[in-house]
Structure 1
Amino acid sequence: MDVFVKTMMDSFGPFGIALLMLLENIFPPIPSELIMPLAGYEAAAGRMSIVTVILAGTIGSLAGVVPWYYAGRFMGEARLKRLADRHGRWMTLSPGDVDVANAWFRRHGVMAVLFGRLVPTVRTLISVPAGIACMPIGTFLIFSAIGSAIWTSLLALAGYLLGQNYDAVEGYVGPVSNAVLAVIVLFYIYRVVTFERSHAAEFNRDDREA
């Protein structure tokens, strides 16, 4: 998988990084925890500057959260939960996930958008309650950009620092990145397989509370 990511970067440069990060935020085929360290590693090899890598990753990440914002704004909480009810198995999104994101946003307000970008399980979904609450798009983009820049910088710089010791880590980059991807794929399969059970538990709980 690291070969695929490197090929995207070699073929499309910064646009490839931005595209991968955009897709990671809409539906995560490859996680940012893999994309950005590899991009930083490529920067250390002199193929592009670390500043370009961070800017590309931030722009792609920012573009990827906008659809979720507008989904929340135009669909509303009830319709999104029905969507999760119907198609959540493959999206690995349950109605309870929407509730968690809403609770996080209500508790922390606009700062949830900034700091939510640093929390893997919240990073994408926090855009939904921001849209539901009709947060001004300018405010949403500013706080999202700051949070995304921090996240992509940390990951890219980690890869960049590894790249400074190229001879020592060259043989480990591929196996480690493949192991990270394997864990994420297994987690996705687990979510798909167990979705009905967790989903049913959520609605049974709601029925009891009602």
Structure 2
Amino acid sequence: MGDLQSLLDGHGLMLVFLNVLAEQAGLPIPAYPMLFVAGALSMQPNGPSIGTVLFAVIAACLIADTAWYFAGKRLGQPMLRTICRVSISPDTCIRQTQSLYLRVGPRSLIFAKLLPGAGALSTSMAGMTATPFLTFIFYDALGALVWAGAALVAGMVFSDFVDTILAAFSAFGHIALMVVLGAFALFIAWRFWMRWRLLRRSGLIPRMTVMEFEQRRAAGDKPVVVIDVRAHGAAPIERIPGSIVMEIKGPFDTLSGHDASSDFVVYCACPHEMSAAVLAERLRTAGYPNTWALAGGFDEWKRLQGTSGLPTATPDAPQQIIAH
């Protein structure tokens, strides 16, 4: 396999460590191809042992994930907004990861790395929810073991195929490298294009400012139905008074008691009001034409509380839970 084989044989563990560290730190550099190769090389007489590779992978994961854990613990919600802005995963997928962690807890770290865009977010959620550090380390290490073990085993099973690919790389050199880089660039461009389409589509949903929202509720001229579409779990969280808790893809059965001509305001806690806009679009399609996403979401509403001149509504209706 020529120079490529020599490089992998001589610096394979370091390459695996740095590749995994970069990916877990949030860079769009997939580590699975390198783990496939490491698994295949472990089948050769002079190849690295699986135990050594796993140690390098788990160490890289724990270093990066510990940084995400303490960033989430220190920064809280702003950290999640930062992840949402830089991630190429759809905002709705990020919201689902939050919801999963709130429901399952640190056990979700065991398989979080197998879900697109869920790794850094899950570890940040562990810090935000004050998961004990030793508990976090235990489940995170298990998650790294499951994540890396799947790729290494696949590399071992298909070692002959991986050897063929490596031989092709050595034979065609720069051409093969350009093909791989081109395919990776196309993949990244496709993911960004998909997110851009979603942002453009959600941007068509009208927004209502917090000031206008509170003015309408205080006036009482027309019923205002407030819907909370944030991720939620067993732990109680602060909500806008009178909110109905609803899943982004949940049924509308509970809304049957409300007049379809009422004003419906949906809020979340994500950039671009993405989750709120997605649910608002569903409501409009289902026959609730007066539906808005709350501009700035819960964070903006919370920030403006106590501001002079901000009207407040007095009713505090009981919350209703709409099941999945």
TM (normalized to structure 1)? 0.77
Residue pair 1:84, 1:94 contacting (<8 A) in 2 also: no
Residue of structure 1 equivalent to 2:14? 15
**1:1-210 to 2 correspondence within 5 Å?**
7=7, 9-45=8-44, 46-77=46-77, 79-84=78-83, 88=85, 90-92=86-88, 96-163=92-159, 165=160, 170-173=163-166, 184-199=184-199, 201=202, 203=273, 206=276, 208-210=292-294
Unpaired stretches in structure 2, ≥5 consecutive residues? 170-175, 203-271, 278-291, 295-324
Instruction: Give the percent of matched residue pairs that are identical in Structure 1 and Structure 2.
Output: 22
Q: Which has the higher contact order (CA 8 A, sep 6+)?
A: 1
In proportion to residue count, which structure has more strand?
2
Residue pair 2:35, 2:155 contacting (<8 A) in 1 also: yes
Q: Aligned pair in 2 of structure 1 residues 54, 181: CA closer, same or farther (>3 Å)? A: farther
TM (normalized to structure 2)? 0.52
CA distance, structure 2, for counterparts of residue 204 and residue 154 of structure 1: 33
Name which of structure 1's ranges 47-56 and 188-197 shifts more when overlaid on structure 2. 188-197
Residue pair 1:117, 1:151 contacting (<8 A) in 2 also: yes
CA distance, structure 1, for counterparts of residue 167 and residue 27 of structure 2: 20
Q: CA deviation at 1:32?
A: 2.5
Question: Would you say how many aligned residue pairs link Structure 1 and Structure 2?
Answer: 200
Q: Provide Cα deviations, 1:120-178, integer angstroms capped at 9, x if missing partner.
A: 44233211211111111111111010111122112112212333x4xx65333577997
Q: CA deviation at 1:114?
A: 1.5
Q: Aligned pair in 2 of structure 1 residues 94, 186: CA closer, same or farther (>3 Å)? A: same
Name which of structure 1's ranges 15-24 and 142-151 shifts more when overlaid on structure 2. 15-24
Q: Provide Cα deviations, 1:26-50, integer angstroms capped at 9, x if missing partner.
A: 1244313212111111222223112
Highest CA radius of gyration, 1 or 2?
2
Q: Partner amino acid for 1:206?
A: A
Poorly superposed stretches of 4+, deviation over 3 Å: 3-7, 9-13, 93-98, 172-185, 193-197
Q: Partner amino acid for 2:164?
A: G
Residue pair 1:54, 1:153 contacting (<8 A) in 2 also: yes
Q: Aligned pair in 2 of structure 1 residues 182, 54: CA closer, same or farther (>3 Å)? A: farther
